[in-house]
Structure 1
Amino acid sequence: MKVATVQTSGGSRVVRVEDDGSFRALALAGVDMRDVLAGRAIDVAETVDADAVLAPLRPGKIVAIGLNYLDHVRESGMDLPGEPLIFTKFTSSVIGTGEPIIFDPSFATRVDWEVELAVVIGRTARDVAADDALSYVFGYTVANDVSARDLQLGDGQWVRGKSLDTFCPLGPWITTADEVIDPQALSLTTRVDGELVQDSSTGEMIFSVAEIIAFCSRAFTLEVGDVILTGTPWGCGEFATPRRSLKDGEVVEVEVSGLGVLSNQVIAPGR
């Protein structure tokens, strides 16, 4: 099942995405995705006319994993991590498909793309074993971990450079875990103005989804509605020759096989 949050004339609604692309309400008006994840949904069997598809949810927290793809480690020239490298993005950075990525070029100049598999937590997880970790997953979605490399690398820690407003496109919907047979066998791609710039597989992950959940849950509680970004593969603009950064008017499309395409245009006046 695919579940989404859409904008209607009467406000936002949580819906099921049907095979024909139509939407059916999963909950009454005023119920958000985190309520649905917590089991407070009612299938009201009502067709919904949507004006736009929004970000599927506002996460309780975003847990992000750095340097988790072998091909990305190779292109960056950094050392192979011995354990998952954890950072966060502020939830205020979340936007949906079709919304613009906005930044001021006088403030951030080296803005980069990162396609990622995003994991949506469906049950409270604390100190869980890797063998059982996937049972805590509600579903999967697509993320673009947009990064201001000049801020990220200049600060010495990554939070500010990865948390600017609009720097976490998420969506277009959540595909429930039962439809993803193996999260380590998904293809990931990024296109900028139609040009393929990232093309890899979750099979390149250093630490699997299950291992990441287990590792995180030993340190802190993962709650219903939390989102884990599991890392990006090779092909980031920062490590291209010559280096490439996003420019005003460009359209970034990130895709994970079977989970949908997330598309956002860049607005960076003067860039």
Structure 2
Amino acid sequence: MRYVFTPADVASLPVVGSTERFPVHRIYCVGRNYEEHAKEMGFTGREPPFFFLKPADALLPVEAGTTGEMPYPSLTSNLHHEIELVVAIGKAGKNIRAADAAEYIYGYALGLDMTRRDLQNEMKKQGRPWCIGKGFEHSAPIGPVTPVAQAGNVEQAAIALQVNGVDRQRSTVSQLIWNIAETIEHLSAAWELQPGDLIMTGTPEGVGAVVRGDLLEGTLDGLTPLSVRIS
């Protein structure tokens, strides 16, 4: 097959314990999926889950043992961090029951949903889509994918983010409003999930701004730590 120009390389993530890489199809994100974060954003209660997407080329892959470099994006003066557990889907499925969701998971990773909060808030005020706040280049720094068999008890794992060595976010995955299986059930009712899909499952409380030079260090028990510097 011939193209009018050379296609971009497939976005992908390293896989723990393998030389193969995980090719990324879509990046789904769950909004306000920790109760305390929902409260800090002005919402309460267990509302139905909602989703937004980042393009696959928003991915900033971060290799194990390295620090990813994220350029400070344009048009914003209020860039926020949101540390998240990322679920990597390994096979296609539609209308997946929560009881069967584990069969579709290839592995897990740790990621950051970086957000131009001022642009997002302005779009919300105007009742307009806020893709400009979420779907920009390098807005999804994500570390290596750990296959399920090596990941341990992710559902109960501690998740945390430090900025310049100071705690910003700290919680456990058990505090998700909609757990991993429930999220997959809801998401797969709206889209047919495909191998290579990533699901960013939501962020705990403590989101805040970062500036150039800041070092963001995320951890989640059982997964490869994530280190990103804002440049």
Q: 1:25 aligns with which of 15, 19, 25?
A: 19
The percent of aligned pairs where both chains have the same amino acid is 28
Task: State the shift of 1:148 in Å.
Answer: 0.7
Paired residue type of 1:207: W
Is 1:78 paired with 2:46? no
Task: State the shift of 1:125 in Å.
Answer: 1.2
Paired residue type of 1:123: K
Task: State the shift of 1:86 in Å.
Answer: 0.6
TM-score, length-scaled by structure 2: 0.86
1:179 corresponds in structure 2 to 150
Q: Taking structure 1 as reference, are residues 180 and 224 closer, same or farther at Cα in structure 2, changes over 3 Å only?
A: same
TM-score, length-scaled by structure 1: 0.73
Paired residue type of 2:57: S
Task: State the shift of 1:183 in Å.
Answer: 3.0
1:112 corresponds in structure 2 to 80
Distance 1:201 1:162 in 2: 24
**Cα-Cα RMSD:** 2.0
Paired residue type of 1:75: E
Paired residue type of 1:222: L
Task: State the secondary structure of the residue aligned to 1:165.
Answer: coil
Deviations 1:234-264, CA, capped at 9 Å, x for gaps:
1111xxxxxxx21111111112111121111
Q: Taking structure 1 as reference, are residues 15 and 264 closer, same or farther at Cα in structure 2, changes over 3 Å only?
A: closer
Task: State the shift of 1:136 in Å.
Answer: 0.4
1:39 corresponds in structure 2 to none
Task: State the shift of 1:166 in Å.
Answer: 1.1
Q: Taking structure 1 as reference, are residues 141 and 16 closer, same or farther at Cα in structure 2, changes over 3 Å only?
A: closer
Deviations 1:170-215, CA, capped at 9 Å, x for gaps:
11x1111123343320111111111111110011100000000011
Q: Taking structure 1 as reference, are residues 92 and 14 closer, same or farther at Cα in structure 2, changes over 3 Å only?
A: closer
Q: 2:112 aligns with which of 144, 149, 152?
A: 144
Deviations 1:46-89, CA, capped at 9 Å, x for gaps:
xxxxxxxxxxxxx2111100100012122222133421111111
The alignment of Structure 1 onto Structure 2 pairs a total of residues equal to: 213
Which structure's CA Rg is the greater one? 1
1:89 corresponds in structure 2 to 54
Paired residue type of 1:190: L
Q: Taking structure 1 as reference, are residues 14 and 256 closer, same or farther at Cα in structure 2, changes over 3 Å only?
A: closer
Distance 1:246 1:65 in 2: 22
Distance 2:200 2:14 in 1: 23
Deviations 1:97-151, CA, capped at 9 Å, x for gaps:
223221246x101101011000000010111110001110000001100111001
Task: State the secondary structure of the residue aligned to 2:225.
Answer: strand
Distance 2:53 2:13 in 1: 26
Distance 1:62 1:201 in 2: 22
- For structure 1, the residue ranges without an aligned partner over 5 or more in a row are 1-12, 19-23, 27-31, 35-58, 238-244
Larger RCO, structure (CA 8 Å, separation 6 or more): 2
Runs of 4+ in structure 1 displaced over 4 angstroms? 13-18
Is 1:216 paired with 2:187? yes
Paired residue type of 1:160: I
- For structure 2, the residue ranges without an aligned partner over 5 or more in a row are 1-11
Distance 2:187 2:68 in 1: 30
